[in-house]
């Protein structure tokens, strides 16, 4: 375009020169009136050309991609802002609820230790047989049977039994007993209706069962969208400023905005990890169902059409030994009796825990035939079950010692601040917009 302008100028100059040299004007060159006329003519020509050039330039700018890009950027920014606003508005109240109920849950173990009796296990020469221990536990509740046996890594020499009337009874009916593995002494009877259990229920499903869990999972998904849109908005807003700037000397609203941005961008990774693992945890029932229909059904396919077991099961102690024999370097973490959701109707399922940090979280099942006591099968869990196994510690923050729990709590409090500042910013913006409308209407 620039070159074109110069081209046109050159052409006009040439025309002017030619007319001066060869035209009728040439004869009168020395006469000042004609000479001035030439100058005036040429100057007007120059002005006309220049104005034309300006018009062309203006039209070019209007059609120009640069202007279009700017307009599209503004529209896109508005769209991202609306996504951020609406996903945040819907999920904030639930996220606040989850952060607040989650805060004491970080210290679940410590608080349980304070509230419940916890005797130490006295060690004698030899551990009692598991069958004997299960008998002692079941005798406490006549007519009822043990259906799960748990070993806690942090509570050595103790075993926790779940005693209930039927293997598939709901969890509310479970009675728990902690026994000394060596002496068989009952060391405690943990309750399932304590304060921490109530807070846990509130946090996981608001006492609404599976629909409640899935609803909270949906809120988690909105939370993820809110974080992503927040990151996209961070770019244009903070482009001209230094990282971490918090303007406290101007309006309150600006201070809260800077705080919201700083906290939000600094905590992004943690919020994404804890939020996403939270969503996965809400899918635990789905994952269990998938495993039952998939790998478990495969492993117990030969038993599919057999009648359910009657009479006594094979020895629990033998089952544990067989499992530990089958998978070396792993210890039993949980044993599920036939008929419970984690195994078939004909097998004990012994879930093994490894020695390393990673393998201690990825439980591996060993299926023992409950009639013969022989190992039926043992496989690595499918990827979606292992994902769930890793999501639980990453969500709770209880895997890295006491300092990690404190760090987790601080992150949680800062997340509450992000949510609260965001809420305040929305309220303040609405108030300001209403004021502007009011002033506009008045004038």
Partner 1 sequence: MDCPATCRKTAAIYRKRILTMKNTFLKLWGMPMLLAALSLFGLIAALLGDGLWDYLGWLALSVPLFLVIRHYYK
Among 23, 211, 244, 302, binds partner 1 (CB under 8 A): 244
Among 156, 400, 431, 435, binds partner 1 (CB under 8 A): 400
Please say which residue, 152 or 357, places its beta carbon nearer to partner 1. 357
Pick the stretch among 151-159, 240-248, 290-298, 343-351 that binds partner 1 (CB under 8 A): 240-248
Please say which residue, 260 or 346, places its beta carbon nearer to partner 1. 260
Please say which residue, 23 or 400, places its beta carbon nearer to partner 1. 400
Among 5, 28, 94, 270, binds partner 1 (CB under 8 A): 270
Please say which residue, 199 or 262, places its beta carbon nearer to partner 1. 262
Pick the stretch among 126-134, 258-266, 288-296, 381-389 that binds partner 1 (CB under 8 A): 258-266
- Give the CA distances from residue 253 to residues 130, 259, 380, 403, in Å, rounded to whole numbers and listed in that order: 64, 10, 54, 35
Beta bridge partners of 365: 351
Pick the stretch among 45-53, 229-237, 336-344, 370-378 that binds partner 1 (CB under 8 A): 229-237
Please say which residue, 1 or 403, places its beta carbon nearer to partner 1. 403
Please say which residue, 153 or 172, places its beta carbon nearer to partner 1. 153
354 binds partner 1 (CB under 8 A): no
327 binds partner 1 (CB under 8 A): no
Please say which residue, 189 or 358, places its beta carbon nearer to partner 1. 358
407 binds partner 1 (CB under 8 A): yes
Least distance in angstroms from the C-beta of 204 to partner 1: 21
- Three-state SS across the chain? CHHHHHHHHHHHHHHHHHHHHHCHHHHCCCCHHHHHHHHHHHHHHHHHHHHHHHHHHHHHHHHCHHHHHHHHHHHHHHHHHHHHHHHHHHHHHHHHHHHHHHHHHHCHHHHHHHHCCCCCCCCCCCCCCHHHHHHHHHHCCCCCEEEEEECCCCCCCEEEEEEECCCCCCHHHCEEEEEECCCCCEEECCCCCCHHHHHHHHHHHCCCHHHHHHHHHHHHHHHHHHHHHHHHHHHHHHCCCCCCCCCCCCCHHHHHHHHHHHHHHHHHHHHHHHHHHHHHHHCHHHHHHHHHHHHHHHHCHHHCCCCCCCCCCCCHHHHHHHHHHHCCCCEEEEEECCCCCCCCCCEEEEEEECCCCCCCCCCEEEEEECCCCCEEEECCCCHHHHHHHHHHHHHHCCCCHHHHHHHHHHHHHHHHHHHHHHHHHHHHHHHHHHHHHHHHHHC
Least distance in angstroms from the C-beta of 417 to partner 1: 9
Question: Torsions phi, psi of 250, nearest 5?
Answer: -110, -145
362 binds partner 1 (CB under 8 A): no
Among 6, 13, 50, 438, binds partner 1 (CB under 8 A): 6
Among 152, 168, 298, 357, binds partner 1 (CB under 8 A): 357
Among 202, 246, 286, 423, binds partner 1 (CB under 8 A): 246
269 binds partner 1 (CB under 8 A): yes
Please say which residue, 6 or 438, places its beta carbon nearer to partner 1. 6
329 binds partner 1 (CB under 8 A): no
How many residues touch partner 1 (CB under 8 A)?
Answer: 37
3 binds partner 1 (CB under 8 A): yes
439 binds partner 1 (CB under 8 A): no
Least distance in angstroms from the C-beta of 242 to partner 1: 8
**Count of CA atoms in the C-beta half-sphere (13 A) of 126:** 4
Q: Are 269 and 415 in contact (CB under 8 A)?
A: no
Pick the stretch among 14-22, 23-31, 187-195, 402-410 that binds partner 1 (CB under 8 A): 402-410
Residue numbers of the site for partner 1 (CB under 8 A)?
A: 3, 6, 231, 234-235, 238-239, 242-246, 259, 262-263, 265-270, 273, 357-358, 361, 390, 393-394, 399-401, 403-404, 407, 410-411, 414
């Amino acid at each position: 375009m620039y070159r074109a302008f110069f081209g046109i100028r050159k052409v006009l100059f040439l025309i002017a020169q030619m007319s001066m040299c060869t035209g009728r004007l040439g004869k009168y060159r020395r006469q000042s009136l004609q000479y001035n006329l030439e100058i005036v003519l040429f100057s007007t020509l120059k002005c006309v050309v220049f104005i034309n050039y300006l018009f062309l330039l203006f039209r070019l700018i209007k059609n120009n991609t640069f202007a279009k890009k700017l307009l599209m950027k503004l529209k896109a920014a508005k769209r991202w802002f609306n996504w951020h606003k609406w996903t945040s508005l819907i999920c904030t109240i639930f996220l606040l609820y989850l952060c607040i109920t989650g805060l004491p849950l970080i210290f679940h173990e410590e608080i349980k230790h304070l509230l419940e009796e916890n005797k130490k296990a006295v060690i004698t020469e030899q551990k009692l047989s598991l069958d004997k221990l299960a008998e002692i536990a079941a005798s406490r509740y006549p007519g009822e049977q043990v259906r799960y046996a748990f070993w806690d890594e942090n509570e050595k020499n103790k075993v926790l039994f779940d005693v209930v009337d039927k293997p598939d009874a709901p969890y509310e009916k479970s009675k728990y007993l902690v026994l000394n593995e060596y002496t068989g002494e009952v060391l405690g009877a943990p309750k399932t209706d304590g304060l921490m259990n109530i807070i846990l229920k509130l946090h996981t499903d608001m006492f609404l069962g599976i629909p409640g869990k899935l609803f909270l999972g949906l809120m988690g998904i909105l939370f993820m969208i809110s974080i992503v849109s927040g990151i996209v908005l961070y770019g244009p807003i903070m482009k001209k400023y230094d990282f971490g700037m918090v303007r406290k000397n101007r309006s309150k609203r600006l201070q809260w905005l800077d705080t919201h941005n700083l906290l939000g961008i600094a905590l992004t990774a943690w919020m994404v990890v804890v939020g996403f693992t939270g969503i996965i945890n809400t899918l635990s029932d789905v994952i269990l169902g998938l495993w039952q229909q998939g790998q478990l059904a495969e492993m117990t396919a030969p038993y599919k059409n057999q009648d359910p077991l009657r009479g006594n099961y094979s020895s629990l102690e033998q089952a544990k030994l067989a499992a530990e024999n089958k998978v070396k370097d792993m210890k039993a973490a949980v044993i599920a009796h036939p008929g419970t959701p984690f195994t078939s109707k004909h097998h004990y399922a012994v879930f093994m825990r490894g020695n390393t940090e990673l393998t201690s979280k990825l439980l591996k099942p060993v299926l023992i035939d409950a009639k013969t006591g022989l190992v039926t099968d043992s496989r690595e869990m499918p990827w979606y079950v292992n994902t769930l196994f890793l999501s639980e510690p990453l969500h709770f923050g209880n895997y890295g010692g006491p300092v990690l729990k404190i760090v987790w709590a601080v992150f949680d409090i800062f997340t509450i601040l992000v949510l609260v500042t965001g809420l305040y910013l929305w309220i303040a913006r609405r108030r300001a917009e209403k004021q502007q409308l009011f002033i506009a209407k008045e004038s």
